[in-house]
Every structure is written in C-alpha cells, then in structure tokens.
Amino acid sequence: MGNVVPCSFDPVLSRFLDCTIRRAKHVRDLKDNLQALETDLQQLIQTRNDVTRRVCVDEQNQMQRMERVQGWLQEVQGAIAEVDELLQLKSQQTYKLCLGGYCSKNCKSSYKYGKQVAKMLKDVAELRREGAAFQQVAERVPDDAADEIPLESTIHGLESTFDKVWKCLVGEEAGIIGIYGTGGVGKTTLVKQINNKFCNELQSFDVVIWVVVSRIGLKDESWKESSLQKKARDIFKILSSKKFVLLLDDIWSWINLTESQSVSKVVFTTRSFEVCGSMKADKHFKVEYLRDEEAWKLFEENLRSEVLDHPDIPQLAKVVAKECGGLPLALLTVSRAMSCKNTPQEWRHAAKLLRNSASQFAGMGTEVYPLLKFSYDSLPSDKIRSCLLYCCLYPEDFLISKQQLIDCWICEGFLDDSNRSEAYDEGYYIIGILVHACLLEEEKDYFVKLHDVIRDMLLWIAKDIEKEKENYLIGKWVGVRKISLIGIDMILSQTPRCHDLQTLFLNKGTLSFVCDNFFDFMPSLKVLNLSFSRGLYKLPVGVSKLVSLQYLNLSSTPIRMLPVELKALTDLKCLSLENTTRLRTIPRQLISNLQSLRTLRMRKCGDSVLFDGGEVLVEECDCLEYLNVLSITLGSYNALQRLLDSVKLQSCTQSLFLKGFQESTSFNIATLATLKHLCQLEICEWDGSDMVKVGDVQKIREPSSFYGLHKITLSNCYCLRDLTWIAFIPNLKFLSIHSCDAMKEIINVEKLGEVLGMMSDLIPFQKLQFLSLSLAKNLKSIFGKALPFPHLKEIYVCHCPKLMKLPLDANSAKEHKIVIKGEKEWWNNLQWEDEATLNAFLPCFKSLWYAILSNICFKNC
C-alpha cells in the first residue's frame, strides 16, 4: 500500500478568510466612510483657507511662501478634486448595497469604490494634520540684486563704453570705476543700462545700490529716526559682509568711500575728470559725443514715421540733427520738438534757428542749456568762468592755440602777469580744469576747441549776464566790448566809433583794405588779432592811436613791413610775428622801443629781417627789460652765440629756429643746454659737413638740460648722416625729419655707446608721441633694435624707400594702439621682428593717398 501524505488547509483558509473580511469591511463601512469623508473634506478646506490667509499676509510684508507650503496647497487642491469625483458616485454606489449594507448587488464594484473612499479618507486626514502643524508658512528671502529702471530712450553709440565698464565689473582688476563726460551726453543712461543688466544676468553680487538704502536691509521705523552717523555705521556694518555694486550718478566732488573687506565695486558718473582722480578710480572712461550715424539713429527713432515719409524732409532732418553736435540730450530735445513738423519749410527754419540762435529753439533754453550751465556754475572761480566765456569768441570747432589763448587771457587782465612764467603755469592749469570739466576739448596737445552746443550755451550765458564788462556780441560794432569777426572777408574802409571796445578778432579772413584811420576811435582796445588775414600787406599808420593795446597778433599774414608808428604802443605786452615769411623790414630800434613787451614771437620771420643773421635783433631783444617769452629765428652762429651769452635771453627763449649757418662746419648741441625753457627747436637748410655733435655728455645729461624741449623739426639738412644726439632729449614728443638726403639712421647705436661709455642705461624715445619721416631717400634705420615706445601715437613715413624695418616688436605698444601711415607699397615690403609683431601692428596701418599734404598738416600741428 502507498504512503498517505498529510496536508493542512489551515493557513490557506486563514489568508482567504482575512482577505474576504477586509473586502467585506470596505463594503460594510462604505456609508460611514462617505459621511466621514464629507466632514473631513470641509475641515480640510477650512485648514487650507487659514493657511492661504497667512500666506497672503506674509507676502504683503515682502516675504516669500515656503516651497513645502506651496506643495501642500497643491496637494490639497488635488485631494478636493478627487473627493468631489468620489462623492458624485455616492448615490449610485450606496444603491447597490443590500442585506443592511453588509453585502452588495455588485460586490466587485462596491469593493473597489469602498477601497477608494477609505484611502481618500486617510489622505484627507493626513493633509489636515500637516496643515494644522505649519508654524511658519513664508520666510524672508534676499531681494534681487537690482530693480530694473525704465529707460526712456536707447542711445546707440554707448555700447563700446558699456562693454569696457562691464568687463571691469565682472573682473577683479578694478574696484572703483569712473565714467565722465559732458552733461547730457548719456552717462546716466549708461549706468541705468548697467543696473538693468544685473537684473537680467546672474552675477556674484549680493546687492546693487542705486542711492537706495532700503535695498540693503535697513527698513524698520527706528532706523528712520536714527542720526546720520548711526545710519552710516549701520550701512557700513551690513555692506562689510556683502559683495555689492554701488552706482553713484552725477557726483561733483570727492566722496569718502571706506573700504570694506568684501570684493565690491563702485561705479560713478561725473562731469569732471578731476573727480575721477580724487576718487582714486582704478579705471576711468569718457563718454564721447555721438558720431554722425549714431546721432542720426537716435534722432530718427524719436520722430514719427509720417514725418519722414515726406520726400524732402529726411535730408533736412539730417541737417537739423547735425546741428545738435552729437549731444544726446540736444538730439532728444530737438527731435521731440520736431516730431510733428510735416513741412520742409518748418525744417529749414529749424536748421537756421539752431545754426544762428539755438537758444531760441524750443527746449534748448529750458532743458539743454540749464543742464550744461551746472558745469559752468560749478567751476572753482569767476576767473575760470571768465576764461571759458572768452573762448566763445572763437567759432565752433575752431582750433584755439593754447599759447595764444593764454597770451590773450594775460592781456585781458584775467591772469596776473607780474610773473609771466607763473601766469603761463596758471593759464595751462585753467585749461586743464576746463578740459577735465568737459567744457573744452583738447586737440593734439597744442590746441583746444569748443563743442558747438557748449559754445551756444556760453553765448546764451553771455547774453544774460548783467555786468556790462562781460558784454559779448559776435559780429556787431556798436556798444560792445568784445567783437569776433573770425573768418569773415571784408574791406575796412570806414572809421567805427568803438570807445568801449577791448577785444577785436579779425583773423582768418581776407582784409583786402584797411583805411589809415580805421583805429582812430578805439582808445580802450587791448587785444587785436589779425593773424592769418589774407591780403594784409601793411598796417595802417593809425595803429599808433591804439594807446591801450597790449596784444597784437600778425602771425601768418603776408605783411611786408612794420610801420615805425608801432613805437607809440608803449603798453604792448605781446607781439606775434610768427610765420610772416614775407616780412622784409623791421625799423631799427622798433623792437627795443617796445619796453613793455613780455612776449615776443618771431619764429620763421622773413629772411630779409635777418640780413646780419639776426645779431641786431638779438641785441634789441636783450634791451627789453621785462621780456620773458621769446621765440626767434637766427641765421648765423654769431647771432646764436650772442643769444647764448645773454643770461636774460637764455632764461626766456622758448622756440628757436636755426636757418642756414653757412659759416659753421660743426655745431655742439650741448651749447643749447643753457636754454632752460626751450620747448621747440627747428633746424633748416644746413649744408655743410656733419655739423650737429653731442658735445659734453655730462652737461647734456643733467636733469635740467633740455627738460622742456618736446618738439624737434629738421628739414632740408642735406649733410646730416644721423641724429644720435636726439637720444639725449628726455621729453621729446614730436620729431619731424624732412628732406635730409644724407641721413642713413636717426640714432647710431654704436656711436651712442661710444658717447655714453659706462652710462649705458639710456633708452631713447620714452616720451615720443609723433614721428614724421619724409623725403629721406637714404634713411635705413630709426634705431638698431626694438624699443618700448610707451607713449607713441603715430608714425608717418613718406618717400623713405630704404627704411625697411621699424624698431618695433610685439611688446612695443601693449597699452595703446599706434597708427602707422605710409605708402602701401612701402608697408608691404616692411620686415618684421617676427610673426607676432606683424600680427600686432597689421591693424595699425593707414594708407596715404596724398602723403606730402598729410606731412605738411602734421608739421603744422
């Protein structure tokens, strides 16, 4: 018989019974669970409403809801929706129940529904407990680094400056960044753009401050009542632990910024470059006037399209925009005023009004000029304001010689001339203030000019000044003190009665005739400028009536002789005869009789004046007791020696033009070392052996030797083979060499080494800015090896076919760009130190179409 295996059914039966009972429970308890679910749902909704109210209150207090609270609210919303779906099936499901609710007509359906209700009841209860347990529903979070500031207009043309400033902000090399420029030029717009970029891009700064202390966490009422000192301490305490960007707009003077330990940045805008210095800015950037195409784009954007639909208006509109001089504020003001002008006649009138009487144009006298006038009013003194106001006698964009301007200021009485040297120092100091205040623009070191809109603003000021002594009217004769007729062609055939006239500018025009008694009724005239007057071949004898005259400028005129009547000008302090190449006669004793002369400029006078090489002229100059500024042309070694023998003339000679010197075969450059104030040296038409020698090296290398000499010009010197002595001029800025056929190299390295001996530390051209080389057909070398050239701006080369290499390498101009002008063929044949040098200077070349004319322009700078 087989074995019988015992088998137990108890565990299986037990699991079956448990499962059945649980399923039966979902059906049995369905009605009670539905009722409990409805109750709990209402309680959950109440809890949700309480939490939502708390969140709203906190958010009104600038707090942010917690993420887990937000998640809970979303879960509650989903649970409510699910419960609603279940309750919609309530009647249908309870109808299926039978046997007192213990069974169902459809057990499977009732079980499934009952299971969902039980689960939902559990979930709702859990959500209720979570909501009731919230101690905090929102929290304080750091504000955004910056609030976006609306921009009225986008100014195209600021992109380059913006990129430079932004690079400094995200880099580590600069902590304080200064942005300066004329009022209305777009500085504030630029800083607003910087602020807004912080809003749109994530940066590693905690806060961007735009003169709003609430942004850094100081908001309570008690702090508002605190003293200024406590507020400063609180701000410092908070900022010391933060990385911040501080944006300061339109500051006028130094602000004490205490350094914190964090890596922070300060960006400020100002109208004065001097503020950049006093604030110790690590980097500074000037916001320039807009170029023509950028100015037109800004102007066009603010006009209605219908206005420009007229075929004749766009061209007229460009003329009007150009009259705004690239100043964004003026462009915006004028474009708004013209936005509804639909006829060419209106636009032509606007252009004329802006050209001749800009202050009468709508908005210029109320919006533009008052803003610019803040810069004028903020100048340190009335003296400086008078000096600036004087500049509006010159036309817009006119290149004003700094030297001549200071001469005029002295003779007008703006500067004390008891010490001429100190007066010039003060004059250059004032020019620096005006340039740094962006009220004057500097041009090539020697000149300044007034921007169109600044000049119009100054004329607007001048017309409103009540004091008669500042009566400036440009172009009229009667009842004024200062008249400017610069660039106007005229015949002076009548005798005006101008008893109060103090200043008369008749330069840059054509004077085909001046009657003898033209000056008879100008007893108060102090300043008379006739320079560059074409057709002025002689002065009327009536010039002797100008008994108050202190300044007379006849430079660059075709005048042929000076009348002896000039001896009557006993108050004359400044006489300029420079570039009067046709001048043949100066009466004997005329110069020596002008005993009030402080300044005498006679560089490049006519050859006939130097009939004895200039010895007599030197003797007469030596008789002038108060002379302290002299520029002179000498044509012989004897005349030069007489000048060098005079202690007085040694101390006042600033410009020396040496021409000819036929009797000399050599010249020792060291002899000129005694001219302590020599600024400009020109050597012309020397035709002998190698005449210029270094001489006493010890003497020439003294700190005071040639300290002020910054411009050297050599032309038509056919004998010179090199200019090695140039290496000993420490502050040389301008070097021009023209038509020197024998010259093979500028500095001979071997000769320089022989002269120096043990003193081999000399590096030439450390201050050089401009180098001009032309018609030097045998020139092969400037210097035998590459030099650093830390200040070089421009190299000009024309008709120097053998100059095949420049003393440059890749490190010669790391900090700035050098412009190299020359013929394209010459450039293509140049040899370079290496590929890196070629690549560094390849973008610097500018081809010359008319090289000789360009060189003439360079020399006249």
- Give me the CATH number covering residue 499: 3.80.10.10
Instruction: Name the token pair of 443.
Output: 């041009």
Q: Are 440 and 431 in contact (CB under 8 A)?
A: yes
Cα 738 to Cα 799: distance, rounded to the nearest angstrom: 10
Per the domain annotation, does 595 fall within a domain?
no
Last residue of a domain, one of 470, 501, 527: 470
**Residue 26 shares a structural domain with residue 134:** yes
pTM of the predicted structure, to 2 decimals: 0.74
CA distances (Å), 746 to each of 66, 721, 791, in order?
A: 78, 8, 19
The runs of H, that is alpha helices, within 515-668 are: 590-593, 615-622, 637-645, 647-652
Per the domain annotation, does 658 fall within a domain?
no
Per the domain annotation, does 118 fall within a domain?
yes
Instruction: Name the token pair of 196.
Output: 């807004």
Q: pLDDT (tens digit, 9 = 90+) per residue, 70-100?
A: 888 888 888 888 888 777 776 666 656 555 5
Q: Which residues contact 190 (CB under 8 A, 6 or more apart)?
A: 155, 158, 161, 162, 165, 179, 269, 287
pLDDT averaged over 10-residue windows placed end to end, the chain, 861 residues: 46 45 62 79 89 85 82 88 79 60 60 77 87 83 63 77 85 81 87 81 65 48 63 65 76 67 74 85 88 90 85 91 90 89 90 86 85 88 94 90 94 88 91 92 88 90 60 57 88 85 90 86 93 91 92 94 92 94 89 93 81 85 93 89 93 91 70 89 75 60 79 88 86 93 88 68 88 93 90 92 92 79 92 89 80 44 42
> Which domain range does residue 463 map to?
380-470
**Residue 247 shares a structural domain with residue 269:** yes
Residue 596 CB coordination number (10 Å): 15
Angle at 531 between CA 530 and CA 537, to 5 degrees: 75
> What's the confidence (pLDDT) of residue 2?
45
Backbone angles phi, psi at 855, to 5 degrees: -65, -40
Cα 425 to Cα 810: distance, rounded to the nearest angstrom: 38
**Residue 387 shares a structural domain with residue 338:** no
Per the domain annotation, does 664 fall within a domain?
no
- Average of per-residue pLDDT values in the chain: 82
Any idea which residue has 């009229």 for tokens?
Answer: 476
Helix (H, G, I), strand (E, B) or coil at 434: helix
**Residue 93 shares a structural domain with residue 27:** yes
Q: Are 637 and 662 in contact (CB under 8 A)?
A: no
Last residue of a domain, one of 527, 549, 572: 572
Per the domain annotation, does 43 fall within a domain?
yes
Relative to beta strand 138-139, strand 64-65 is: antiparallel
Cα 2 to Cα 242: distance, rounded to the nearest angstrom: 92
**Residue 28 shares a structural domain with residue 50:** yes
Long-range CB pairs of 191-197, under 8 A, 24+ apart, other chains included: 191/247, 191/249, 191/267, 191/269, 192/149, 192/151, 193/151, 193/158, 193/162, 194/162, 194/165, 194/166, 194/169, 194/247, 194/267, 195/146, 195/148, 195/149, 195/247, 196/146, 196/148, 196/149, 196/151, 197/166
CATH number at residue 457: 1.10.10
**Residue 484 shares a structural domain with residue 387:** no
Q: Which residues contact 507 (CB under 8 A, 6 or more apart)?
A: 486, 487, 529, 530, 531, 532, 533, 553
Cα 860 to Cα 856: distance, rounded to the nearest angstrom: 6
For 574-586, b where at least 16 C-beta lie within 10 A, e where not — what string? bbbbbbbeebeeb
**Residue 527 shares a structural domain with residue 560:** yes
- Report which secondary-structure segment, H or E, holds 123: helix 107-132
The sign of the dihedral angle between the CA atoms of 380, 383, 385, 387 is: negative
Q: Are 666 and 689 in contact (CB under 8 A)?
A: yes
Helix (H, G, I), strand (E, B) or coil at 250: strand
Last residue of a domain, one of 418, 444, 470: 470
Q: Which residues contact 371 (CB under 8 A, 6 or more apart)?
A: 183, 184, 329
**Residue 565 shares a structural domain with residue 542:** yes
**Residue 321 shares a structural domain with residue 248:** no
> What's the confidence (pLDDT) of residue 815?
64
**Residue 512 shares a structural domain with residue 565:** yes
Q: Are 692 and 723 in contact (CB under 8 A)?
A: yes
If you write DSSP's letter for every residue of 359-422 in order, what string do you get?
GGSTTIIIIIHHHHHHHHHTSS-HHHHHHHHHGGGSPTT--EEHHHHHHHHHHHTSS--SSHHH
Per the domain annotation, does 305 fall within a domain?
yes
CA distances (Å), 125 to each of 121, 134, 432, in order?
A: 6, 15, 81
> What's the confidence (pLDDT) of residue 860?
45
Cα 794 to Cα 55: distance, rounded to the nearest angstrom: 68
CA distances (Å), 232 to each of 208, 236, 256, 258, 358, in order?
A: 17, 6, 12, 11, 46
Per the domain annotation, does 88 fall within a domain?
yes
> What's the confidence (pLDDT) of residue 23?
57
Per the domain annotation, does 791 fall within a domain?
no
Q: pLDDT (tens digit, 9 = 90+) per residue, 161-179?
A: 888 888 888 776 778 888 8
**Residue 130 shares a structural domain with residue 55:** yes
Instruction: Name the token pair of 660.
Output: 């000819």
What totals of helices (H) and strands (E) does the chain contain, helices first? 29, 31
Cα 426 to Cα 536: distance, rounded to the nearest angstrom: 34
Question: Of 183, 178, 150, which is closest to residue 164 (Cα–Cα)?
Answer: 178
> What's the confidence (pLDDT) of residue 24?
60
For the chain, the domain total comes to 5
CATH number at residue 196: 3.40.50.300
Cα 469 to Cα 649: distance, rounded to the nearest angstrom: 37
**Residue 452 shares a structural domain with residue 533:** no
Relative to beta strand 283-286, strand 441-443 is: unpaired
